[in-house]
Amino acid sequence: MKLHNFNSGPSILPQSVLTQAAEAVINFNNTGLSLLEIGHRTNWFQEILQEAKDSVKQLMQLDDSYDILFLHGGATTQFMQVPMNLLDTQATAAYCDHGVWGNKAWKEASLFGHVKVVADSSDQQYRYINKGFAIPNDAAYLHITSNNTVEGTQWHTLPETTVPLVADMSSDIFSQPTNFNRFSLIYAGAQKNMGAAGVNLVVIKKDMLGKVARKIPTIMNYQKHIEAGSLMNTPPVFAVYVSMLTLRWIIQEGGLSEMGIRNHRKSSLLYNTIDANPLFEAPVAVEDRSHMNAVFFLKDQSLEAPFLDLCKQEGMIGVKGYRTVGGIRVSMYNALPIESVTSFCELMQFFTQKHG
């Protein structure tokens, strides 16, 4: 039986990436060594890291005012590291609270300085993105979560602001063309569109650093990581390698324009099927629906368990909604083929014929 991997993260990877990564674990580039055994300061790994950084710069079309880091930890670490490096004790940062991760981010930031939550959609269970909210002109930065994996919302138009823009892009990075030069800092855990869990990408504008008075622990200091070329301590070699392979795959497949076309096609197919089906409903505001994570529900909750059982029987993996939200969640990251979405839509229609 063919499995369809709709996991929200760690998530599906391109088959060619899995094959190359598996081969490298046994014998990396015919060196006779496993990738897991090579030194992080060898030319072998230096070439991996450099290609990964070059690929990020190419895909994001970044100018020379940015530095690129591959660091330990996931995006959750950045909830702390961003304000530690950018927010002075007496300064204020503006945050958008549009879901679980944005909420965690602003609470962590409040440990380091003042936080003003300028947008909050919790009044409607985080099912929309606020528009037209006020941003203090003196804010150190504005923080957004570009795609809300748990709730199924996504920014489709960036907020207009004169303050530096910071984004957690963990779940939609490299999924479509974006003006990345509008951001002063971007961070993303790799385990969705960019590789395996264990490494975190940070893209930072150089002029953002050196402005806080606090002493920053060396391992948490972006500037120190830049000076060390992401090699301050032993990096997660395997995770960086898988990220490099995944970024290479995106470029070979046609880059972000092609990813955007594919992802829009997949999400449109699924949302159109949901909207036309009498048993299902997607309560997220239509204009804010995520192309990465579709969150929806059965109108009759008693049918949820039988539907999830059917999904399991038919090899539809990872479709149960997040524990605090419930319902169904179908994640459609770059590596997911449209055939999987088609199969899921056909399963929905089959279920409806049986229970409608």
Active site residues per annotation? 101, 168, 192
Question: From residue 323, how far is each of 61, 117, 329 by CA, in Å?
Answer: 37, 25, 11
Kindly tell me if the per-residue pLDDT of 105 is higher than 80.
yes
Closest CA to 171 of 182, 187, 156: 187
Is pTM, for the whole model, over 0.75?
A: yes
For the record, the structure tokens of 306 come out as: 């039988």
Percent of the chain with pLDDT over 70: 100
Reported as a single tens digit per residue, the pLDDT across 206-236 is 999 999 999 999 999 999 999 999 999 999 9
- Residue-wise pLDDT tens digits, 141-173: 999 999 999 999 999 999 999 999 999 999 999
pLDDT at residue 91, rounded to an integer: 97
| Pairwise CA distance, residues 215 & 221, whole Å | 9
Token reading at 32 = 């006779």
Band of pLDDT at residue 124, cut at 50, 70 and 90: very high
Domains of the chain: 15-253 (3.40.640.10), 255-355 (3.90.1150.10)
> What average pLDDT does range 184-204 have in this prediction?
97
- What pLDDT score was predicted for residue 356? 73
- Please name the residue ranges forming H helices in the chain: 15-26, 43-60, 75-86, 100-109, 222-227, 237-253, 255-276, 304-313, 338-355
Q: Read off the pLDDT of each residue in 316-321 and give the average, rounded to a whole number.
A: 98
Mean of the per-residue pLDDT values of the chain: 97
Torsions phi, psi for 95 (to 5 deg)? -130, 145
| Helix%, strand%, coil% for the chain, nearest 5 | 40, 15, 40
Percentage of the chain modeled with pLDDT above 90: 99
pLDDT digits (tens, 9 = 90+) for 37-94: 999 999 999 999 999 999 999 999 999 999 999 999 889 999 999 999 999 999 999 9
